[in-house]
A and B are shown apart, each in its own frame.
Chain A
Amino acid sequence: MNVRFGVLLTPGIEAPEAVVELARTAEALGYDLVMVPDRPYEPGLLDAWTLLSWVAARTERIRLAPGVLELPLRDPAALARAAAGLDLLSAGRLELALGAGSAWDAIEAMGARRLGADQAVAALGEAIDIVRGVLDAGEPRPLRHLGEHYRIPQVQRGPLPAHRIPVWVGGHEPELLRLAGREAGGWVATLAELPPDGFAAAGKLVDEAAREAGREPAEVRRIVVVGPDADPSALRTLAAEERVDTFVISTDDAAVLRRFAADLRDLPAAVPVVVRPASVRAKRRAGIDYDSVPPSLADTAVEPGDLEYARVRSTYLRGGAPGLVLRPRTVAEVVDALAFVRAHPHLPFGVRSGGHGISGRSTNDGGIVLSVAALNSVEVLDRDRRLVRVGPGARWTDVAAALLPYGWALSSGDYGGVGVGGLATAGGVGWLAREHGLTIDHLRAVEMVLADGSVVRASERENAELFWGVRGAGGNFGVVTSFEFQVDEVGDVGFAQLVVGADDPAELLVRWGAAIEASPRDVSGQLIMGRPRPGRPHVAQLMAVVDAREPETIIERLRPLASVGPLYDQNVVLIPYAGVMANAADGYHQGQGEPVSRSGLIEHLTPEVARAAADLLAGGAVHWFQIRTVGGAVSDVPPDATAYAHRSANFSLVVMGSVERRLDAAWAGMAGHVEGLYLNFETGTGPDKVAAAFPPATLARLRELKRRYDPGTLFRDNFTVDPQEETR
């Protein structure tokens, strides 16, 4: 690692644009950091935070830090929120340097209370706790701080910043140096304010305090502000002997910046900066060799003590506590990640794209998660053939939005937040299923990383058997890193949401099933029903997409659906397919607990099936009941063409409950009425479910593939095909 360089600007009020221009020049010259002094009592200078925010908007790469913030004039909780916001806006470029207060006369004149030196350091210590506490948004309880200097009854935490914002302390007083050693991620010193040999002595104090607090001295970065006339050889010595890893040149002269950049480029740092302090390492889980995370992944990996952990630990439906989340950004990094996973054969291991897996196996407890969320591009490969390439980390709402300008769409599912990776490796029952088939039916090729780390392409022509298996059981054979789809021309569609009475749920199911089976293929839809509750009218929600532009056609198609029961409410709009999919929630996943669901595929909603389904619903073990249409184009594909084989079904049923045992007891009544299941709606992942998802001939082929591509069952957590077991 090399020493970092920064610039400390003097932001005079006379030429604000020149200050901003200098920051941009520093960025162009390859500087790592721009700092602006904070002297809120000094009318000749621009306000530091305002200027930093402005510079953030006008730069792209360079990191930003106040140098240093006069804490007595800032409220620490408000400061933390502002810091999180600036970090989010600047995509993780903020570093926070705090000072205990220096110009006390001026501070007092501004209306703040004067503190003695030691008191001021104590107040700074409290402020650091508050700042860190507010930033720690993953902690569910509000922050309470009843200290000597700050009294905060309870403040909500958050927002979660884009990265772990380092908190540095600036100054030279012994008490402050000790605070830096005990608490801070960095110590900011100003060379000109120290006596000739003062730096070494001050640094020793910091190190001693760090050791006393059980930290490694290298956890405290050393940031040194130097004047424009600093001697490069003296800086080399400081870097080599005093572990200084960041030099900040105080200048407003672009020529000086250029000179330093030329003189000191590629100066190696004496010791690698410790990225994860002891407090973070203390939360590591057993059995993971954290120190051998491949260098390519070290920066983006997240472990339990990291601030970003809150963002990645859970999935949409399931709470998790993985020991390590690897976040590759390239195919080569996926290869690196799998090598690391191979070295940990006894841990849970989940592959994650969009994190919406119903079974929730893309998170775990104490294991490794490989998240390909960053591989999220959507690009058009061939306009004439409507061929597009999509990364597994893209969400279906993003795919729909990207295809909209071309007048294209790819049927996926009903929810825009769902990821491409999990859905397009298993099936994809979407709003255009009856007309255009499953998502996997549009797949023309994939690129994937296999268990042994090799990168292969699979299509009808290359690795054809693997390509067959990927379309239905993809998670068993590797990590798909890109999908090539042939998409359809789809314009605006009619999107209907109807509410109908369901006093007799079985009767309604039969009528709805018959109506939608008789509909032309441009209609696909679903039905959602709650549990009947005494004294309340029982209703069902019907949704449908009609792929037609003319209002008359849409109305004509909807009429039979609207008359399956008394119509209580209706809402029909003509919108682009991308509009139907623009329903994804913001923010990160905060699922909790264990989801429990059962999936079943159904040929026809006969009175017997409907009776069994109505009984299931009435029993009370089910809190979510949803039937989607398949059939149509889905059934045109021969059962042996893809690993997804239950092609004759017209309906896909999913129910969710809270208690697995109760749900299974209720679900037993569906036996004989369902024929197979769809993996992506099922939470049971054991051999019985695998056998239900894949008919015997399909399963035998999958076992053969597993023996060939993943004999050691590296991919073992989600509907694992056992390579050894013989087919019945």
Chain B
Amino acid sequence: MSDYGHDLLFGAFLTPTAERPHQAVDLAVVADRAGLDLATFQDHPYQPRFHDTWTLLSYAAARTERIHLSGNVLNLPLRPPAVLARSHASLDLLSGGRIELGLGAGGFWDAIEAMGVRRLSPGESVAALEEGIEVIREIWAADKAGPVRVDGQHYRVHGAKRGPAPAHDIRIWVGAYKPRMLRLAGRAADGILPSLAYLPGGADDLAALNEHVDAGAVAAGRDPRAVRRLLNVSGRFAPTGTSFLDGPAEQWAEDLAGLALEHGVSAFILATDDAATIERYAAEVAPATRELVAAERSARS
């Protein structure tokens, strides 16, 4: 049983469909007004039915006021890290500190390769991601002396100027499932962002995920609490409860509070493109979950 004590975040995981160009933007606005903490968009640059995620995210940031936004998760092989760092810093400055960086090592290699990028082995892509994170953090470190110098296998940045510094401490959340990637997240990232649907054993797998992240953090001399555990979930509101996140809002709150207290998950990002569901999630599920978790945490301490 692990609970890292983070405050809880609730978000929406939106499909960046290009066929209705404003759908995802409008839903981000709904999420913003409803009071969710995060609006996130998947990133598949090889998929022409989707918007370019960064363009969409920038546009949506300009249309919202309060909510934080991030890729879920951005495809590093198709987005050079130095440019990624500067564009995130820029948008963070424009939005008054509302941008986070969800980052992935790239999943669909056939499609990535077809766009002209060299295919990496799983081991290589972990290494590339680690170097990418280093480049990004170095660029953001505007006050450090001397130019950026990262001499990696995959990314070589020699003498680039530092900056701009973002408006706030942008969190780097990594889409991670396998031990090596999880340990890297423990060493170098601010969070992991897997999807529950991709865990073969369901929520039970979270314990193992946490172990790897914690081990990575400890080995690097970090406190495991420095790494937030985020999770993409999907569900359905129904009058009577049948299974996990399939039932009334009160049951959702029980389900999510269970994950928070049992596995330390502290950000629940709901995959949906339905405005009413977003509103209900924000109005009913988020406060009830927070209440349950707060009550249990104070009982424990």
- The answer to the question of B226 belonging to the interface, with a C-beta cut-off of 8 Å to chain A, is no
Give, as a whole number of angstroms, the nearest-CB distance from B92 to chain A. 10
9-residue interface stretch from B32-40, B42-50, B169-177, B179-187: B42-50
CB neighbours (8 Å) of B300 from chain A are none
Which residues of A sit under 8 angstroms from B63, Cβ to Cβ? 57
Q: Which chain A positions have C-beta within 8 A of B155?
A: 111
The verdict on B30 contacting chain A, using a C-beta distance below 8 Å, is no
Residues of B within 8 A of A54 (CB): 58-59, 61-62, 91, 94
Q: Is there contact, CB below 8 Å, between A82 and B160?
A: no
Query: In whole angstroms, what is the CA distance A43 to B139 when docked?
Result: 9
The smallest C-beta distance from A210 to any residue of chain B, in angstroms, reads 30
Q: Is B5 part of the binding interface, using a Cβ–Cβ cutoff of 8 Å?
A: no
* Interface hub of B55, B63, B147 (most chain A Cβ within 10 A): B55
B297 within 8 A of A: no
A-contact bits for B199-221, CB 8 A (1 contact / 0 none): 00000000000000000000000
Decide yes or no whether A158 CB sits under 8 A from chain B. yes
> Would B164 and A43 count as touching, CB distance under 8 A?
yes
- Whether B238 sits at the interface, judged by CB under 8 Å, is no
Q: Check A78 against B59 for contact (C-beta < 8 Å).
A: no
Tell whether A587 is near chain B: CB-to-CB under 8 Å.
yes
User: CB distance A73 to B83 under 8 Å?
Assistant: yes
A150 touching B116, Cβ below 8 Å: yes
Residue in chain B with minimal CB distance to A153: B114
- Expressed in whole angstroms, the Cα–Cα distance for A51 and B156 within the complex equals 26
Indicate whether A82 sits within 8 Å of B94 (C-beta atoms), given known contacts A41-B161, A47-B87, A58-B62.
no
The residue on A at minimum CB distance from B82 is: A110
Per-residue CB proximity of A125-169 to B under 8 Å, as 1/0? 000000000100100001000000011111111110010000000
Stretch of B13-21, B228-236, B278-286 lying at the A interface:
B13-21
> Which residue of A has the minimal Cβ distance to B19?
A586
- Residue B115 contacts which of A77, A88, A105 (CB distance < 8 angstroms)? A77
Q: How far is the CA of A10 from the CA of B60 in the complex (A)?
A: 23
Q: How far is the CA of A44 from the CA of B93 in the complex (A)?
A: 12
Residues of A within 8 A of B160 (CB): 41, 106, 109-111
Could you mark each residue 136-156 of chain B with 1 if its beta carbon is under 8 Å from any beta carbon of chain A, else 0? 000100100001000000011
Contact A88 B62 (CB under 8 A): no
The smallest C-beta distance from A326 to any residue of chain B, in angstroms, reads 24
Within 8 Å by CB of A77, from B56, B82, B116, B162, lies: B116
Query: Smallest Cβ distance from B159 to chain A, in angstroms?
Result: 4
- Shortest CB–CB separation between residue A89 and chain B, in angstroms? 5
Inter-chain CA distance A85–B48, complex, in Å, is 10
Q: Which of A69-123 contact B (CB under 8 A)?
A: 73-75, 77-78, 81-82, 84-86, 88-89, 105-106, 108-111
Q: How far does the alpha carbon of A54 sit from the alpha carbon of B114 in the complex, in Å?
A: 30
Knowing A16-B93, A54-B61, A586-B19, say if A111 contacts B163 (CB, 8 Å). Answer: no
Tell yes or no: B90 within 8 A of A by CB. Answer: yes
Q: Which residues of B contact A150 (CB under 8 A)?
A: 116
Contacting pair A50 B159 (CB below 8 A)? no
- Selected from A111, A137, A155, the residue in CB contact (under 8 A) with B80 is A111
- In the complex with contacts A56-B59, A57-B62, A111-B80, A151-B116 CB distance below 8 A: yes
What 0/1 pattern do residues 36 to 62 of A give for CB contact below 8 A with B? 000011111011011101111110000
Q: What A residues does B115 contact at CB under 8 A?
A: 75, 77-78, 152, 155
Q: Give B292 Cβ to nearest chain A Cβ, in Å.
A: 32
Are the CB atoms of B93 and A46 closer together than 8 Å?
Answer: yes
A13 interface contact, C-beta 8 A? yes
A62 to B122, CA, bound (A): 46
How distant is the Cα of A58 from the Cα of B47 in the complex, in angstroms? 27
Residue of A nearest to B22 (CB): A89
A20 located at the interface, meaning its Cβ lies under 8 Å from any Cβ of chain B in the complex: yes
Contact present for A51 and B94 (CB under 8 Å): yes
B20 touches A586 (CB 8 A): yes
Tell me how far the C-beta of A106 lies from the nearest C-beta in chain B, rounded to whole angstroms. Answer: 7
Nearest CB in chain B to that of A20: its residue? B94
Residues B23-81 near A (CB distance < 8 A):
25, 45-52, 54-56, 58-63, 78-80
Q: Residues of A contacting B59 with CB < 8 Å?
A: 53-54, 56-57, 86, 89
B157 within 8 A of A: yes
Could you tell me the distance in whole angstroms from the C-beta of B195 to the nearest C-beta in chain A? 23
Query: Residue of A at shortest CB range from B159?
Result: A109
B107-118 near A? 1/0 per residue, CB < 8 Å:
000000111100
B152 nearest in chain A by CB position: A111
Does B222 sit within 8 A of A, measured CB to CB? no
Q: B47 and A156: CB pair below 8 A?
A: yes
**Would you call B90 and A152 a contact (CB within 8 A)?**
no
**A109 to chain B: which residues have CB within 8 Å?**
147, 157-161
Q: In the complex the two chains form, what is the Cα distance from A137 to B19 in whole Å?
A: 13
The answer, yes or no, to whether B6 is at the interface (CB within 8 Å) is: no
A-side contacts of B58, CB under 8 Å: 49-51, 53-54, 57
CA distance A109 to B150 in the complex (A): 10
B86 touches A49 (CB 8 A): no
Whether the Cβ atoms of B78 and A50 lie closer than 8 Å is no
- Complex Cα distance A617/B281, Å? 49
CA distance A90 to B24 in the complex (A): 14
What's the minimum C-beta distance from B30 to chain A, rounded to whole angstroms?
16
Assembled-state Cα–Cα distance A83/B27 (Å): 22
Q: Which of A74, A105, A152, A159 contacts B18 (CB 8 A)?
A: A159
| B-contact 0/1 string along A6-44, CB 8 Å cutoff | 000000010011001000000000000000000011111
Contact among B25, B54, B113, B156 with A50 in the assembled complex (CB-CB below 8 Å): B54
Contact B159 A43 (CB under 8 A): no
- Distance in angstroms between the alpha carbons of A295 and B163 in the assembled complex: 50
Residues of A within 8 A of B78 (CB): 75, 78
Say whether, besides A13-B93, A16-B94, A50-B91, A40 and B55 are in contact (CB < 8 Å).
no
Task: Indicate if the CB atoms of B51 and A40 lie closer than 8 Å.
Answer: no
Task: Find B90's partner among A51, A156, A158 (CB 8 Å cutoff).
Answer: A51
Which residue from B55, B86, B159 sits with its C-beta under 8 Å from A82?
B55
Given A41-B160, A43-B163, A73-B80, verify A156-B54 contact (CB < 8 Å): no
Q: Which residue of B lies closest to A152 (CB)?
A: B116
| Minimum C-beta distance from A308 to chain B (A) | 15
Are B87 and A85 closer than 8 Å at their CB atoms? no
- Give chain A nearest CB distance to B226 CB in angstroms: 27
- Taken together as a complex, chains A and B put the C-alpha atoms of A277 and B223 apart, in Å, by 62
A86 to B, closest residue via Cβ: B55
Q: Chain A contacts of B163 at CB under 8 A? A: 13, 43-44
25 contacts between A and B (CB under 8 A): A16-B94, A20-B94, A40-B83, A43-B162, A43-B164, A46-B93, A46-B164, A47-B86, A49-B58, A50-B91, A50-B94, A51-B58, A56-B59, A74-B83, A81-B52, A82-B55, A86-B59, A88-B21, A88-B51, A89-B51, A109-B157, A111-B80, A111-B160, A153-B114, A162-B21
6 closest residue pairs by CB, A with B: A43-B163, A158-B48, A57-B62, A53-B58, A82-B52, A88-B21
Given A82-B54, A159-B48, 17 more pairs with CB closer than 8 A = A13-B90, A43-B86, A44-B163, A47-B90, A50-B94, A53-B55, A75-B78, A75-B116, A78-B52, A85-B55, A89-B21, A89-B51, A109-B159, A155-B46, A156-B46, A159-B50, A586-B17
